Amino acid sequence: MLTTKHTISALVQNKPGVLAHVAQMFAARSFNIDSLAVGRTEDPDISRMTIVVLGNDSTIEQVRKQLGKIIPVVKVHDWTEENLVQRDLMLVKVAAPPEKRTEIQSLIEMFQAKVVDIGPKFVMVEVTGPEEKIEAFIDMCRPYGVKDVARTGIIAMPRHPRSPRPQAKEN
| Segment 38-48, tens digit of pLDDT | 999 999 999 99
**Model confidence at 56, in pLDDT bands (50, 70, 90)?**
confident
Which pTM value belongs to this model? 0.80
Could you tell me where the beta strands, DSSP code E, fall in 41-164?
A: 46-55, 73-78, 84-95, 114-118, 122-129, 146-151, 155-158
Tell me how far apart the alpha carbons of residues 168 and 164 are, in angstroms, rounded to a whole number.
12
- According to DSSP H, which parts of the chain are helical? 18-28, 57-69, 101-110, 131-141
120 burial level (CB within 10 Å; 0-12, 13-18, 19+): exposed
The per-residue pLDDT for range 114-131, each reduced to its tens digit, is 999 999 999 999 999 999
Q: What is the pLDDT of residue 159?
A: 87
Q: How many CB atoms lie within 10 A of CB 114?
A: 12
Task: Collect all residues with Cβ–Cβ distance below 8 Å to 70 and sequence separation of at least 6.
Answer: 12, 18, 21, 22, 25
- List, in order of start, the domains of the chain with CATH numbers: 4-82 (3.30.70.260), 85-156 (3.30.70.1150)
